Structure formats: structure tokens, C-alpha cells
Structure 1
């Protein structure tokens, strides 16, 4: 380590790190939960209670992207920077450039956030983990017990640092509990040093947990804790990130090879922990793909998972509800609804596994021989389509009766069919993409969504034991659809697709294709047509990598993974834009200097994402925007019975198409913004966003820290930052 490597970092952050906090029941008798006595570490019950507290601080949650949580698939700043949702997020808004000098349009703060709240501050959580590690290591419990507790703590610390690494490229590495002093903390370490540190923590975790978890994983009440397999799976994600273009501008083949060899070796240990692709007998129309999100016990797919319950009450400590179901359900069943962009709806594969010919996004992938019918987007699609989206005429059943809340809502939850088509009061608005003067059927009214996100839904047609409590009349602050469904942050499917990607990068395309086939098989494809994959993937590296990224986009839609993939591969501009003040090492020289061109991917910058809705056909005219004025019902139109995904689909979808043809019209709805003159605006992810800068608040509180290259240094009069995430070393080494 270099002499004088300890710099003035921040007294505010050091103060955050000097705190502790516990909220578990074991410590309820402690009057001051910010000062936990060291005697708790003398007993396994105390260590376990403290560890459970760390879990509660660090586990992913359904809260959207923040300094504390990773993206969960919501329309947060990450989701709205992908094909999944429309509407410019701060990252892609062409009219606003994020600032590190002002609180106006400030770059998001994932580095420090609220320094006065230890749970919200990343380094506050790291401080508590370091505190735990130090006391357990020095404590009197057996080494066997220490390994169990420390193995989990090392994973949680690695998880915190991984989430910093992917945003900033290099951050201070702190492994001890620091005093509240201006000279306590270290400067930013290089990305390379951070990767090495994270991998070391994960390997420690995997080794320490092996004796307890390599025999099928945790059982009983311990299910949901991290395992050897969890640590190795996150290790694979980190190795993949390090090999990807974001960090590997010259396409150093050794990184791909190292990642491939390590991840291939680790797969056996991951499997030994009981992980594998979730499947079930009678996998009909992607039912296994849908049902895997609803397994609250011993789910082989759930490699890293947050468990929930449906306990409800006033201020109960054990109440931990998943709000996803409430967020995605239509308003006439007690929900809010998430609006899928037309871009992704149109992009999903056809029934033969190929991309629709009308898309033009992945030009090195073979297009489908099945004609995509734009007016009827549900026809002949990949089985996962029907488990990801909901359109008018789709069954989407639930346990309950929403008419108890509002008499105009459909009453029979167990036979609920979504009818979210709209009508207009004014004929001039019927073709106007910006008009919001429509009214939706079945009491949806103004709470209308064109195409609903259905992903991860607790559908009563596939789950006979719902994981939520539908509460029609809220009396205790509980709301409908607070669910016990788990949140899976890292699935076994990702383990395989991460491995496929590094295999392709290391030029083992045949191996990569094998893993793609496994994913496609679970989705419902068979060997008869090579699982819907084109024949040249084992011989064409660019086509193979493109197929892997497309598969990830479909398989993990609305799971919060797409934005990370877009950043890793620099797919907003192909990596061609130059960051101000960046050295030559930032220039992308691998992949022909343009990842988009090499992959055959159309850059997202310069594109728009629109929405779609289905309105009543012109022959039905207009109607007042009121309940009971539905033009179709007034005309005596009998609704289709609803597509039942438990049954054979072809004839049902054909019948629904006929019904649409007679009664509905697909209409484009404005998605991304337009300017004051109603001129289309287009996505613009600026090159410096690939590595975030520290916001003015964080810089003001951390006087000695370096700003990232490409961002203005708040502490140095707005001069260009000097920290290089891609440098081999930093001031800390």
C-alpha cells in the first residue's frame, strides 16, 4: 500500500459508520438499539439475531431502484431506461442532463444517500457488517458456528460492494469499523481492486457455507438464507461484469476465459446446493415459467431470494408483504397496473422462437417465418409472452371479489377476464396518440393501461393456494394483494445464461448454445426445431452473443435485469461516444470499436418507445366517458369468453382475433415525451452515465474524495473529475 494512502474522506460518512442498530426480537430488551452490547456475540442466538438484522437491511425488496435496493422490474429509473417501459427516465431524457454540481437534475446518489440514516447509507450497512464480522471472529463460539455466520456476512458485504461497483467502477474498500474521524476513511479503490475484493469475499462465503449447504441447501426455517451456491452465482455475475465491454474495452480474452473456467467449475457446487431450473409436470403454455415465482418453499430456481409473508396488522414486527401483485393488477381488482411498452410487446419472439421480422433490432438473428400481425399481437407468440403481458380478453384470475369494494367492478375473481379496451367521447381524439380523453371498460375508467405487465403474477389459474390476502374494505391499513410471493433476485436461469455468455466470449459457442437450449426447453420449445434457435450460433460468435442477450431480455423481462445488460454492453450508443477528459484506455477497441455494430443491435439512443391501447372500432362511434356507456355493450356485442391458458391456445387465440377484428382497433399511444411543439423526442443516454459521478451532496460531505472522470468536481470549482474506474491502480493501492 502506498504511503499516505489514508485521505480525508468525510466526517459525515465516518459518523454514519460509527453507528449500529438492531431490530430483531432477540434484542427487544435492549433499550438503546443503537448500542448493542458485545455480550450478544457470546451466544449463537445473539449472533443469529444480529445476522438476521443484517439480512433485513441488505436483502433486495420491491421498492424500485435506490441506494438501498436494486431494480425490481418496476417503472423506476432503470426500467424506464429500457425497452420495457416508455416515458423518459432521468438517464435517457434528451432535454435534461444530469448534474454533479447542483441539486437540480442531480445525478442519483447510490453512493451515500442519507448519511443520517444508517440503513439507507450503503456504508452504514457495510459498517454494521464489518462490526458483525469483527465480533464474531473474536468471539467464543465454535469455529463451525462462526463459519455459518461469517459465510453469510461475507456474502452480504460482497452484495453491497457489487451494487456500488456496477455504478461507480471503484469505491473505497472498508473492512474495519472506523472511528468518526476526518482521517478515518480511504479513497476510492480501482475497479480491479474492488472486483478482487468482492470475489474474495464471495469465495470465503462459499467455502464457509459448504458444510451446511452443499447437501441440498438450507431446510425448514433456514430456507431463504444464502448458500455456497448463492455466493458462487453472484461470483459469476461479477466475473461476467468484469469481462463485459463496460470494464473490458479492449476485449481481453483472458477475462472471458478466466470467467468461463471458474463458472463452469462452480456450477457443480451450485447444483449441490439444490438449485436447478424450476419445472413441473404438465408444463402448459409456459405455466412452469409463471409458477416458479410463486414457490415460497424450496424453490430450486431461487438462488438469491427475499421471502415475504401475508401477515397483516398495525405495526407488527413480523409483517413483511410483497406489494408487486397490488402494483400490477388492474384497478378494478384493487391494483394500480403497470403499462408495458409497445416496443417490448412487439419484440417478443414468435411461436417458432424467432424474432418478428418487423422489429429490426437484432439484425444477426434470423427472423420468424410466421407473419407478425400488429393488430393482434397475441397471435403465435413465445409461451412466455402470455405469462408476461395481459391484453383485452385474457383470463387473469384471483382469489376475491372486487365488487365488494366497488359494486361496478367485476365480481367473480376466480373467472376474471381483463377487458381494458377504451372508447372516446370525441371522434377527433380516436386517432390522436396524445389524447387521454378515453374511458376504459369494466369500471377501469381513467385508470387505464393499454397492455398490462403480468410477469410474476399470482394467477389463481395456476396457483390454487394464493399467496396474498385480498382485502376489499381496508380497516387496518392493509391493502389488496399484499402478497407472500418471494422476490427472486438471482435465478438459476441467470446462472445458466451468465455461463452461456462467458462461454461465448471465450469462444466456446457450442457450450453456450447448450445452455440456451436448456432455457428454451423450460419455456416450452423442443429439439424438433432446435428449441427455436438458428443453426449458426455455434460457429458465429457475434450471432451467438446476440442470441444470448435477446434471450436474457425475454427471460428476465420486468425483473430489473435489462438495464444492467444494456450498460454492460454499452448498447445505448455502442460505446462510440467519447467521455470528456477520458484517457485512451476508455476507447472501445474490442468488438470492432462498436458493440452495437458487432452484435447487429440497433442502438437505443435515437429511438422512441410508444405504447398501445385497443379502442372500440369506428363503427361503434363515440360515447360519454362514464360507466355504463360502453359502446360494445350498448350495441349488444357478446364478449369472447376469455383465453384460458390452461387449455390449448391456437383455437382460442384465433377466436379472440376474430372478436378483435370485429370490435377493436389497435391504437398507438404516446409513450416517450414530445416537446412543446408536439415533436417527437428520442432517447439519449449520455456516455458519461456508464460510470456515474458523485452528486454534489455526497461531494460536499466527502471533501477529499475524487470525482469520476467526465463529471464536474463540486469540491474543485467544477473541474473535470480525476478518478479513473478503468485504471489498473488508484490512490488507495
Structure 2
């Protein structure tokens, strides 16, 4: 098969602005568009520029709200928006990017892996580039296998004009290919926590952590519905995550000292960041979508992104680690739902009357009620007004409140694709399923200690059970609050095969109304942000799609794996459709 490499896939001008994974001198070459393809693999700068383009193609282009291709933007019980049977019954499935685009990305990785072997790069340079490229191919296939199960395995470059006539490999074969690439990458990146010390590039830590994540998925109920917690893959997951944690510890990774500080400017590349997509103002900005996440009065013509729902609020424990309503130390009421909660609540969520100093306005409080809030921020869910779909809550995590409203697009908070906390929770889950429940509890307590939850007299951090099933539930809830807005919740419910537990439920928000004792409004007090959260009454309301139609979750069992897009099957009759979709016969599980 003759290989044609088009220059547009090599060194586009966009690479100059990209620089997400390479030092500036890597791209310091003249007339990039005039470079002959064969020279790419003789010059380290050109080879690394090709690699930088692969990073840009494969890795997320920001936080989940900016990365629908990787995360689907599906909110489930975390943030506003409901998925149901009509959402998923489409030929272009919302849980992944374009099927065809995924293979275009893989093709470019395959070109690198093939062509670099005929180049003249020194062994050390070549090994580092190949190690990163193998990770990117493994990552690409992982994103697909968790959506579709088995997919065609293409490990050699094809012509751009070739038709895809390759049948689907089994799910087991795809997992094997992913692990083969990761194992090779591990060998090539030994001694490289980050390649060349650049924290925007893949290193050994990222490869080990991804291998642990992949193993956790492979062992999960998603792929093993008949043997969800008694299959042999759990031991593999445990071993992989023990190795990842051990090596990450040795390389100096660990939990950041405080939860909120993980995403604070000036603390980029902290020791929790195992794999980072860098953002730097003014060249690469707003990966967090601050423009959409802020209240409308404090942004520029956009709002409504990442608005937490009431089920997210209820997921946080009290500050002693006990569930709301079960704490022996702190009473809970919906009327004071923000009081004495897990500190991650305040670090992540803005509620009515809470301090939210956007635009650098000292002491500014965010109001969402229908009286004190500006017309643009009146955001309480109320079916009798136009606010029938609003939650009364905003996002705080990952935003830069010091930015003025006109500057919101300059948000430069890095996206951390893999952080150390995930490795701890991956290990905790695998430990719990392999007879190491006590170790799992220790890891959970470590996360809660960092969060600022009180240890208690017995140093339990609110965890008093040793029951395997109960600890499993605690792990999933810990992931829920730890990873809010990080695109993990939907995939956790999918991985655990618990998405259908949402059926019949509705999303809710919290409406706020000034107490009668605070009326009429004191304008001086209002203008000084003098009304506090306790000055309001709160009502939990259902979110509505229209003023008369509330939306419930209605999911069926075929949601766990996506259909191959019909257009792809029409192009390639060798592709079998997924079981549960049309006349599909392909089994995407490992059973």
C-alpha cells in the first residue's frame, strides 16, 4: 500500500499558536508550510511539531463543557439538562465525537509511528516521541471502546482515499491493543515524569495512570454485566493502580495541599496534575468556558453552563463526613443547606447570597432571587415565571473571579485530564473489590482529609462502615463531589451500569425568596450586598422544559453502548451494528 502524506496534516500554521506540548524553540523553524514531509523525521523540531499537532487533535480542548467530543456534555444528576430515550436515538451518538474523526486522528498517529522509523532522529529523541504517540493512540481507542465496545483496529496508516472496510475487533482485542501501546510507552518513557520536564507533555506518570483507568473500566460492570464484581479483571485493575500510585509517589506527585488551589492561577502544574492541557492568556484561553458559567451580569452575552442541580447539592456530606441529615454533630435543613458542609461545596458552587467577588468587586454577593438579583441574574427555578428551567445555583470551580466581565474569555485555567486524586479513587475502587476494603477506606479518608473534612475523635472522617457494598457507594459518592464539573459523573454511572437508576426522577433547583421580615427592601443594604443567605426562604422546585412540562429521565438498557453511526455502516458493510440498536448483533461486552 502506497502511503501519501499531505502537508496539511504536518505543519499547519495553527501549530505556531498551539505550543501546548512543546517548548517555543521546537517550533522555531522557517516557512513551515514549505517543509518536505521526508524532512520531518530528520529534524527534532519538525518531528515534535508533528507530535504537537497530534496533541491538539487527540487531547481535550478544554474542560468538559468545551470538549463535547470526549465527554458528551451529558449532565445526568450533576448539572442542568436531562437525557432521555429521544436524546440517544440518533445516528450520531451524543456520547462521543465523530466516529470518522476518531480514525482520522488515529491515522495521523499511525503515520508518525511508521515514518519515524525511517528517519534519522537519535534514539533518545525518537523514543520520547514514540512513547507519547503510543499514549495518544491508546487514549483514542480508550475513548472509543468505552462508548462502542469493540471497534475496527487500525494500527497502520492508510491512504486518505482508502475506504474503511475493516470489521469490528472484539472488545477484548481493543483492550489488548490499548494495553500493548501503553506498555510500550511505559518502557520508552522510563525516567520521564514529564517529557523534557514540560508539564504540558505526556510522561511516565500519565501513562501509568491511564493504564490504571483503562483497567478499571475493563473490570467494571459495563463490560461484565453478568459478573460485575467477581471477575478476574478486578485484580488486574488493582495491580495497575497500585503500580501507578507507587510510581507517582516516587516521582513526587501527590494531592495539592488544598482542593480549591488545584485550579488557582499561579499554581498551574501543581503536584496533583498528572496530565495537563495548558492554557495561557492571551494565546490560548477560556478552556473552562468562564463566559458561559458566570452569571449573566458578570459575563459577556452567555450564561447557563455548568449550573448545579439539587441532587448535586445533596451529594455533599456535612463537614464531619456524615451524610446530610445523618450527622451526629451538625443538623441539616434545606433552609440552611450551605451551612457546615464538606468544604468542597463552597469551593465549587455559588448559591444565593454567597460571596462571589467577580470582577474583583470586594464583598460582592451573588443573588438569584426575583427581587434583589439583577434582571439578568434572577435565576431561581419558578414555574410561574420564565425561570422554569433555572437551578438557582452557579459554578465556582475553575473560574477566575478577578477577571472583569469583558475579560471572561481570557480565563487561562489549565484543564487537568488526569489528576492524582483520580488515581487514589481508582485504586480505592479496585482495592474494595479485591478484598482490600480497609485500604480503600484509608484512601477515602486521605481524600477527605485534604478536602478539609473533620477527622473526628476516632479519625474516621465520617466513614464508619467496613461493608464492601457500602464502601462501594461511598467511593462513587466521593467521586461525585470530588470531580464536579470534570466530566466524570456520567461515565461513572455508565461504568457502574446505574444510569437507569435515574429513571422516573426529575432535576430540581432551589428557589430563593426574601423573608417577609426583610421587606420592603432596604436599598442601601441591597447596594452594599448586605443581605445574606439566611435572609431568604428556600423552596426546592422541579426544573421544567416548558412552563407545563417537567422532564423525567427515561432511559433504556441499550444506553450503555452506542450504535455505530448508520453512515459508517453504509460505507462499510463489514461493520456489525451494536446489540440493542436496530438489527445489531455485535456484543460489546467481555462476556
**Does residue 52 of structure 1 match 2:23?**
no
> Does the 8 A contact of 2:511 with 2:538 survive in 1?
yes
Query: Taking structure 1 as reference, are residues 16 and 569 closer, same or farther at Cα in structure 2, changes over 3 Å only?
Result: farther
CA distance in 2, matches of 1:449, 1:322: 23
RMSD: 3.3
- Cα offset for 1:40? 1.3
Residues of 2 paired with 1:343 and 1:703: CA distance? Answer: 44
Map 1:559-708 to 2 at 5 A. Answer: 559-573=486-500, 603-618=501-516, 632-634=521-523, 641=530, 656=532, 659-660=534-535, 664-673=536-545, 678=548, 680-708=550-578
- Paired residue for 1:107? 93
Between the aligned partners of 2:380 and 2:46, the Cα distance in structure 1 is 65
Equivalent pair of 2:512/2:539 in contact (CA under 8 Å) = yes
Partner of residue 418, structure 1: 366
Unmatched segments (≥5 aa) in structure 1: 1-13, 116-120, 280-287, 312-317, 358-365, 401-411, 439-445, 461-468, 473-478, 574-602, 622-630, 643-655, 713-719, 729-733
Equivalent residue in structure 2 for 1:173, among 153, 177, 181 = 153
Q: Retained in 1: the 8 A contact 2:189–2:204?
A: yes
How far 1:431 moved relative to its partner?
A: 11
Check conservation: 1:289, 1:523, Cα contact below 8 A. yes
Asked whether the equivalents of residues 613 and 667 of structure 1 are also in contact (C-alpha less than 8 Å), the reply is yes
Find the aligned partners of 1:109 and 1:696 in 2 and give their Cα distance. Answer: 16
What is the deviation of 1:195?
A: 1.0
1:270 equivalent to 2:248? Answer yes
Distance 1:137 1:320, change over 3 A: farther
Question: Structure 2 residue aligned with 1:340, among 287, 299, 308?
Answer: 308
- CA offset at residue 525 of structure 1? 2.7
For 2:79, the equivalent position in structure 1 comes to: 85
Residue 580 (structure 2) pairs with residue 710 (structure 1): yes
Cα deviation per residue 1:151-198 (whole Å; 9 max; x = unaligned)?
111111111111001100111111111135666642111111111111
The change in CA–CA distance for 1:40 and 1:322 in structure 2 (over 3 A counts) is: same
Are 1:433 and 2:331 matched, yes or no?
no
Q: Does 1:20 align with 2:16?
A: no
Per-residue deviation, 1:277? 0.5
Q: Equivalent residue for 2:294?
A: 329
Task: Kindly indicate whether the alpha-carbon contact (under 8 Å) linking 1:521 and 1:531 is maintained by their aligned counterparts in 2.
Answer: no
Aligned counterparts of 1:189 and 1:218: Cα–Cα separation in 2? 32
Taking the aligned partners of 2:495 and 2:5, their CA distance within structure 1 comes to 31
Q: How does 1:440-455 map to 2 (within 5 A)?
A: 450-455=392-397
SS at match of 1:204: helix
Deviation at 1:126, TM superposition (A): 0.6
Residues 157 and 201 in structure 1, CA contact (< 8 A), matched pair in contact too: yes
Pair 1:327–1:177, CA change in 2 (3 A): same
Q: Does 1:493 align with 2:429?
A: no
2:238–2:430 Cα contact (<8 Å) kept:
yes
Alpha-carbon distance, 1:15 to partner: 11
Residues 384 and 275 (structure 1 numbering): CA distance in 2 closer, same or farther, change over 3 Å? same
Aligned counterpart in structure 2 of residue 242 of structure 1, from 218, 233, 256: 218
| Structure 2 partner of 1:379 | 339
Counterpart check, 1:545 vs 2:472 = yes
Q: 1:305 Cα shift?
A: 1.1
SS at match of 1:277: coil
The answer on whether the counterparts of 2:66 and 2:288 sit within 8 Å (CA) in structure 1 is no
Q: Greater helix share, 1 or 2?
A: 2
Selected match of 2:430 from 502, 521, 536 = 502
Contact 2:64 2:485 in 1 (8 A): no
Cα distance in 2, alignment partners of residues 486 and 53 from structure 1: 18
TM-score by length of 1: 0.71
Q: C-alpha offsets along residues 379-433 of structure 1, whole Å, 9 cap, x if unaligned?
A: 11111111111123322224x4xxxxxxxxxxx62443222322399xxx99993
| Inter-partner Cα distance in structure 1 for 2:94 and 2:175 | 23
The answer as to whether partners of 1:706 and 1:723 remain within 8 angstroms in 2 is yes
Contact kept in structure 1, 2:431 and 2:439, CA below 8 Å: yes
Q: Distance in 1 between matches of 2:109 and 2:417?
A: 20
**Which of the pair has more CA radius of gyration?**
1
Shift, 1:526, TM fit = 4.5
How far the C-alpha of 1:112 sits from its partner, in A, is 3.5
- Give, in whole Å, the separation in 2 of the partners of 1:327 and 1:292: 21
Equivalent residue in structure 1 for 2:181, among 201, 206, 217: 201
Once the two structures are superposed, residues 539-564 of structure 1 have per-residue CA deviations (whole angstroms, 9 ceiling, x without a partner) of: x1101111111111111111110000
Q: What is the distance in 1 between the residues matched to 2:349 and 2:380?
A: 24
- CA drift at 1:506: 0.7
Alpha-carbon distance in 1 for matches of 2:65, 2:350: 24
Q: 1:38-49 maps to which residues of 2 (within 5 A)?
A: 38-49=38-49
Other structure's SS at 2:366 match: coil
| Cα distance, 1:634 vs structure 2 | 4.9
**Unpaired segments ≥5 residues, structure 2:** 17-26
Q: How far apart are residue 275 of structure 1 and its match?
A: 1.5
Tell me how far apart the structure 2 counterparts of residues 430 and 568 of structure 1 sit (CA, whole Å).
33
Q: 1:61 to 1:319 in 2, by over 3 A?
A: closer
Distance change in 2, residues 1:695/1:448 (3 Å): closer
Match of 1:520 in 2: 448
Contact kept, 8 Å, 1:331 with 1:447, in 2: the verdict is no
- How much does 1:565 deviate? 0.4
Deviation at 1:337, TM superposition (A): 4.7
Map of 2:31 onto structure 1: 29
Q: Which residue of 1 aligns with 2:70?
A: 70
Cα pair 2:381 2:389 within 8 Å, conserved: no
In the TM superposition, what is the alpha-carbon distance from 1:122 to its structure 2 partner? 0.8
Residue 158 in 1 paired to residue 143 in 2?
no
Retained in 1: the 8 A contact 2:356–2:365?
yes
What is the deviation of 1:47?
1.0
C-alpha distance after superposition, 1:547-601 (max 9, x if no partner): 111111111111110000000111123xxxxxxxxxxxxxxxxxxxxxxxxxxxx
**Equivalent residue for 1:310?**
281
CA distance in 2, matches of 1:40, 1:15: 14
Q: Once the two structures are superposed, what CA deviation does each residue of 1:484-513 show, in whole Å capped at 9, x if it has no partner?
A: 210111110000000000000111101111
Matching of residue 555 in structure 1 with residue 482 in structure 2: yes
- The 3-state SS of whatever aligns with 1:392 is coil
Number of residue-to-residue matches in the alignment? 565
Q: Aligned pair in 2 of structure 1 residues 432, 605: CA closer, same or farther (>3 Å)?
A: closer
* 1:366-405 correspondence runs (5 A): 370-398=330-358, 400=359
- Work out the CA distance in 2 between the residues paired with 1:321 and 1:431: 27
| Distance of 2:368 and 2:578 partners within structure 1 | 47
Shift in Å at residue 16 of structure 1?
A: 12
What does residue 536 of structure 1 align with? 465
Q: 1:28/1:419 Cα in 2 relative to 1: closer, same or farther (>3 Å)?
A: farther
Alpha-carbon spacing, 1:637–1:56, altered in 2? closer, same or farther (3 Å) = closer
Q: 1:99 to 1:432 in 2, by over 3 A?
A: closer
Measure how far apart 1:672 and its partner are: 4.8
